């Protein structure tokens, strides 16, 4: 093969970018960048009833979010009807297609009668029909010989031609079938590397027969990527699993973490270090090293990756990236948000969140008029341990009011002293103070939080909580 390697990602727009699609895109983009090749985008939108313009845009937004770019304007199959019509005409002229009026039900019934698998439509034959209502165009597959290809991941893959049905290349409504458009476009776009999900392995011999029929006898390099399964080892499903990349974005996963995690679905670097910058992945990645066995999408592992990336952010970046969660859809009125206060707490919050959508709950006590009390926390600390909560809060109101300097270390010492006078260690002693002021039992370190909140608000909340005690 001569010239620059050309890879492509060819999604059908279905509403969102499937995490498996995102992985396929990366496994094209990465080797393309490594080899100094080109990465192209082809939108497979021939099914005009199912495709929507905003989805096409959304796909590109999601790919860019993950850090991918492409080298030519995206190709839209919906704009290339002439190319497919021309290919169909050439196949027809060569006597390789015929009209057929078998419905899916016909094919399934016959397959069942012959003990074959339902859905296998290998039994249509040319009955000399002309074009007409309800008639599709089928491609005549050879009855003898084999069609084979070499796959970088699977090795040599061989199909007996007599197992390949005469497949449809143009539907009865005149729309070209996926395989036809897919094969024609790869030739037209001079694609040298076809990297895609393993569900396309069985279609590959048909794709190759079409290419040959159109005069292309050389083959692209193939790599069929392993299927992605959930924790129960079931194939990821749209209904059961979180498969939309955009959903992860909207829950505050970082694009770098997400891309890094997706790369590990079927591939690992030789030194075993999985969390690393994309520039290093681009150097180390080899399609030959991708596994054949299925790859499990493990949200806990993704969380671990994301937590690592969140903690590695410069604080200013963490603040900036958190802002969408703090400024819109936050549980407090926008005018109560104060970025300076958030900046003070940010390093502490950054250590404690896995995804950015957790940030508001960590700091809501600062921006809400009064704390959002967690019922379970109130019951555990204020009701069941009211014997400790009441004297602690009373003691702290007095001690905090008398503090000369409102600093976290002074607040710490004062709380410790009140606790000691009640025979309570700091951990137990600070719990009612935390619940009174933040509404929760967990959050950023307490004394730094109180320092940010200020004396007036803190004392007001301690007093209000005392009044609420049983």
Residues 403, 399: Cα–Cα separation, whole Å:
7
Q: Least Å distance between CB 43 and ligand GLU?
A: 9
Among 194, 192, 196, 201, CA closest to 225: 196
**200 versus 440: smaller Cβ distance to ligand GLU:** 200
The H or E element that residue 312 is part of is helix 299-312
Q: Quick one: CA torsion of 272, 273, 278, 281, rounded to 10 degrees?
A: -30
Give the phi and the psi of residue 389 in degrees, each rounded to 5: -60, -45
Name the residue with the smallest CB distance to ligand GLU.
196
Q: Quick one: CA torsion of 130, 214, 166, 93, rounded to 10 degrees?
A: 20
Residues 387, 468: Cα–Cα separation, whole Å:
14
Q: Least Å distance between CB 11 and ligand GLU?
A: 5
Question: Is 238 an annotated catalytic residue?
Answer: yes
Q: Least Å distance between CB 58 and ligand GLU?
A: 15
Report if residue 77 touches ligand GLU, rule: CB under 6 A: no
Name 97's bridge partners: 139
**44 versus 241: smaller Cβ distance to ligand GLU:** 44
Give the phi and the psi of residue 18 in degrees, each rounded to 5: -65, 140
Catalytic site residue from 238, 292, 301, 425 = 238
Per-residue interface string for the shown chain with ligand GLU, residues 180-219, x marking contact by CB under 6 A? --x-------------x---x-------------------
Q: Least Å distance between CB 348 and ligand GLU?
A: 44
Q: Least Å distance between CB 177 and ligand GLU?
A: 12
Window 17-76: residues binding ligand GLU (CB under 6 A): 44
**Ranges assigned E (strand) in 35-145:** 38-43, 75-76, 97-100, 136-139
Report if residue 12 touches ligand GLU, rule: CB under 6 A: yes
Q: Which stretch binds ligand GLU (CB under 6 A): 8-16, 90-98, 229-237, 459-467?
A: 8-16
Q: Least Å distance between CB 197 and ligand GLU?
A: 6
**154 versus 251: smaller Cβ distance to ligand GLU:** 154
Identified binder of ligand GLU from the candidate list 11, 20, 220, 255, rule CB under 6 A: 11
**10 versus 228: smaller Cβ distance to ligand GLU:** 10
Residues 104, 171: Cα–Cα separation, whole Å:
12
Report if residue 6 touches ligand GLU, rule: CB under 6 A: no
Here the contacts of 147-151 (C-beta below 8 Å, separation 24 or greater) are 147/205, 147/208, 147/209, 148/205, 149/204, 149/205, 149/208, 149/219, 149/222, 150/219, 150/222, 151/201, 151/222, 151/223, 151/224
| Interaxial angle between packed helices 446-453 and 359-367, expressed in degrees from 0 to 180 and rounded to the nearest 10 | 40
**176 versus 371: smaller Cβ distance to ligand GLU:** 176
Identified binder of ligand GLU from the candidate list 5, 6, 7, 10, rule CB under 6 A: 10
DSSP alpha helix (H) spans, 116-221: 178-188, 204-213
**170 versus 182: smaller Cβ distance to ligand GLU:** 182
Contacts with ligand GLU, residue ranges (CB under 6 A)? 10-12, 44, 182, 196, 200
Residues that are catalytic: 238
């Amino acid at each position: 093969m001569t010239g620059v390697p050309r890879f492509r990602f060819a999604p059908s727009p279905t509403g969102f970018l499937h995490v498996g699609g995102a992985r396929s895109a990366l496994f094209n983009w990465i080797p393309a960048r490594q080899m100094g090749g080109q990465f192209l985008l082809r939108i497979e939108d021939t099914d005009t009833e199912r495709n929507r313009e905003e989805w096409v845009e959304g796909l590109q937004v999601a790919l860019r979010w993950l850090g991918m770019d492409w080298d030519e304007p995206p190709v839209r199959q919906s704009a290339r009807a002439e190319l497919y019509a021309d290919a169909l005409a050439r196949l027809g002229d060569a006597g390789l297609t015929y009209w057929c009026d078998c419905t899916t039900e016909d094919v399934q019934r016959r397959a069942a009668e012959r003990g074959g698998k339902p859905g296998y439509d290998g039994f249509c034959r040319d009955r000399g029909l002309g074009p007409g209502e309800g008639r599709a165009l089928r491609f005549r597959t050879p009855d003898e010989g084999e069609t084979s290809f070499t796959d970088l991941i699977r090795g040599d893959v061989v199909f007996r031609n007599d197992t390949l049905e005469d497949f449809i290349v143009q539907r009865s409504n005149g729309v070209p079938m996926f395989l036809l458009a897919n094969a024609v476009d790869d030739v037209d776009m001079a694609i040298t590397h076809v990297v895609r999900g393993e569900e396309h392995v069985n279609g590959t011999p048909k794709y190759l027969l079409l290419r040959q029929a159109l005069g292309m006898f050389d083959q692209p390099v193939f790599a069929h990527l392993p299927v992605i399964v959930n924790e129960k080892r079931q194939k990821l499903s749209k209904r059961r699993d979180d498969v939309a990349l955009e959903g992860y974005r909207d829950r505050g996963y970082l694009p770098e973490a997400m891309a890094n995690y997706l790369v590990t679905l079927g591939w690992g670097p030789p030194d075993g270090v999985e969390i690393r910058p994309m520039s290093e992945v681009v150097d180390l990645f080899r399609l030959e090293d991708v596994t054949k066995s299925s790859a499990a999408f493990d949200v806990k592992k993704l969380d671990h990756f994301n937590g690592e990336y969140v903690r590695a952010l410069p604080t200013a970046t963490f603040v900036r990236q958190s802002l969408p969660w703090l400024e819109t859809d936050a549980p407090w009125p926008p005018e109560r948000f104060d970025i300076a206060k958030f900046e003070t707490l940010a390093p502490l919050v950054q250590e404690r969140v896995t995804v950015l959508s957790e940030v508001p709950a960590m700091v809501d006590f600062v921006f809400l008029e009064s704390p959002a009390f967690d019922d379970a926390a109130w019951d555990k600390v204020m009701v069941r341990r009211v014997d400790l909560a009441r004297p602690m809060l009373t003691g702290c109101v007095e001690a905090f009011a008398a503090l000369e300097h409102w600093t976290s270390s002074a607040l710490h010492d004062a709380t410790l002293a009140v606790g000691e006078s009640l025979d309570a260690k700091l951990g137990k002693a600070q719990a009612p103070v935390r619940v009174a002021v933040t509404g929760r039992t967990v959050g950023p370190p307490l004394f730094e939080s109180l320092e940010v909140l200020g004396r007036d608000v803190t004392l007001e909340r301690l007093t209000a909580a005392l009044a609420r005690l049983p």
